[in-house]
Amino acid sequence: MNPDVVVIGAGTAGMTAALRLSGTGATVLVLAEGEGALPLAPAQVDLLGYTPALVSEPLRELAPFLQERPWHPYRLVTPDEIEAALGWFADLAAPLGYVGSAQRNRLQPTALGALRPTCLVPETMASGDLSEGGEVLVVGLRGFRDFHAQLVAENLGQAHLASGAAVGARAVEVSLVGDPRDLRPQLLVRRLEQRAVLAQLAREIRTELGQETLIALPAVLGMERSHEVWQRLQELLGRPVFEIPTPPPSQPGQRLQQVLFRALRRQGGEVRLGAKATGFRGTGGRVESITVQLASREVQVSAGEFILASGGLGTGGVTVDPDGGLHEPVFDLPVTTAGAPGQPSAEYFATQPLDRLGVSVDSEMRPLGTGGEPLFTNLRAAGAVLGGAEPWREKSGEGISLATGFRAAAVITGGGG
């Protein structure tokens, strides 16, 4: 394959850019060392959750947020582009039926029973928006160790909502047919796709059901057929059912990854995992090819355009030496810690020096040199490799990757800038 575009990284940012470009007819090759955050994260799209105050209208609150953080990656995209990116994503991931909008944050329960602000969720989680309170029966599965219904219910019951509404929650634990000693999520999703097992689960839940208007389960309601499993369970129980994401590995994250990978293949693109970019060759301000380490050999991959979507510290998109030196390992780009304090803070929740590290780009998403000049005409960067954000604190990780991946594709096709 001699692609028009090579994307480094198969996370949300890389897949968004790849899908947008292959959708315009470009041949796209995604090279990734590993799978990134997609199969681990909850498959919800967080745009902006905290500024640090709780955000209820993310798109509206973005402008004042950026005024205080002119280095933030959201400066690279307009509110219209963010809305377009979210709309495009929801259409593309239609098999998962995404619900929500950039205008309003929902409050969805986590595996600890906290309420988390997020914009877009798969339909299997949609009725779990507890912004206006609700009475929830939290169902645990005996033997499944990644979900503690009692903990979730106790914490949900203590939620303080701005609306003044209350959340009532009660925990129950039910048994599935089969061996409860080894209920790993990968097994559960397959087992719950069997109608007899689902019917048994519904019977068990019905015997426990009181006045609750909502039923919550860990996010293991099927893999390929999650829509069908979720809908059937609702029918059997006669009440809205919603999934609560569990700790990694995330079954909703894997559903989303499958949808994105398949969509790219359908459009003629390719994802190659186990392919680590280790360097590049270039002349005259252009990248000609990248050096890629495969299982048994090293190859040069040429393309007209390159997109760096290699993630942050967690995936090796940026690295830190033992002596504190910061690196971007593929193109040796300067790494900055925009707006972060110079010295570590002893306060646990304070912003630390490395919290915002990443590469800087211009409005065309081209990585910048130390003098502030774009280094290559045909290299763009997107997602968590960009510096300036604190995704965990802001609840902005997926939104940044989606919006900047979308933008990187737009500047290549001439639709942005």
Ligand X SMILES: Cc1cc2nc3c(=O)[nH]c(=O)nc-3n(C[C@H](O)[C@H](O)[C@H](O)COP(=O)(O)OP(=O)(O)OC[C@H]3O[C@@H](n4cnc5c(N)ncnc54)[C@H](O)[C@@H]3O)c2cc1C
> Counting contacts by CB under 6 A, is residue 32 touching ligand X?
yes
Yes or no: say if 253 and 38 are a contact pair by the CB < 8 Å rule. yes
Shortest Cβ distance from residue 277 to ligand X (Å)? 4
Which residues in the 326-345 window bind ligand X by CB under 6 A?
A: 329-330
Yes or no: say if 402 and 410 are a contact pair by the CB < 8 Å rule. no
Stretch that binds ligand X, among 193-201, 352-360, 393-401, 408-416 (CB under 6 A): 393-401
Of the residues 11, 73, 100, 358, which one makes contact with ligand X according to CB under 6 A: 11
> Counting contacts by CB under 6 A, is residue 276 touching ligand X?
yes
Instruction: Report the alpha-carbon distance of residue 327 to residue 184 in Å, rounded.
Output: 38
Q: Which residue lies nearer to ligand X by CB, 38 or 205?
A: 38
Shortest Cβ distance from residue 343 to ligand X (Å)? 25
# binding residues, ligand X (CB under 6 A): 38
Burial 136-161 (b: 16+ CB within 10 A, else e): bbbbbbebbebbbbeebbebbbebee
Yes or no: say if 4 and 304 are a contact pair by the CB < 8 Å rule. yes
Of the residues 72, 380, 395, 407, which one makes contact with ligand X according to CB under 6 A: 395
Shortest Cβ distance from residue 305 to ligand X (Å)? 16
Instruction: Report the alpha-carbon distance of residue 159 to residue 128 in Å, rounded.
Output: 14
> Counting contacts by CB under 6 A, is residue 27 touching ligand X?
no
- For 172-184, the DSSP string reads EEE--SS-GGG--
Which residues, 6 or more positions from 164, have their beta carbon under 8 angstroms from its beta carbon? Answer: none
Of the residues 35, 193, 212, 305, which one makes contact with ligand X according to CB under 6 A: 35
Which residues in the 188-247 window bind ligand X by CB under 6 A?
A: none
Shortest Cβ distance from residue 10 to ligand X (Å)? 4
Shortest Cβ distance from residue 344 to ligand X (Å)? 22
Single-letter amino acid code for the residue at 283: T
Q: Which residue lies nearer to ligand X by CB, 254 or 401?
A: 401
> Counting contacts by CB under 6 A, is residue 251 touching ligand X?
no
Site string for ligand X, 89-118 (x = CB under 6 A): ------------------------------
Grouping H, G, I as helix, E, B as strand and the rest as coil, residue 13 is: helix
Q: Which residue lies nearer to ligand X by CB, 107 or 229?
A: 107
Single-letter amino acid code for the residue at 118: T
From residue 43, how far is each of 246, 247, 252, 260, 292 by CA, in Å?
11, 12, 6, 12, 29
> Counting contacts by CB under 6 A, is residue 317 touching ligand X?
yes
Q: Which residue lies nearer to ligand X by CB, 204 or 398?
A: 398
Yes or no: say if 195 and 232 are a contact pair by the CB < 8 Å rule. yes
For residue 43, what are its two tokens? 């498959």
Q: Which residue lies nearer to ligand X by CB, 222 or 383?
A: 383
Q: What are phi and psi of 207, to 5 degrees?
A: -70, -20
Yes or no: say if 13 and 384 are a contact pair by the CB < 8 Å rule. yes
Of the residues 51, 226, 254, 315, which one makes contact with ligand X according to CB under 6 A: 315
Which residues are paired to 270 by β-bridges? 29
> Counting contacts by CB under 6 A, is residue 31 touching ligand X?
yes
- Which residues bind to ligand X, rule: CB under 6 A? 8-14, 31-38, 40-42, 46, 248, 276-277, 309-311, 315-317, 329-330, 383-384, 391, 395-398, 401
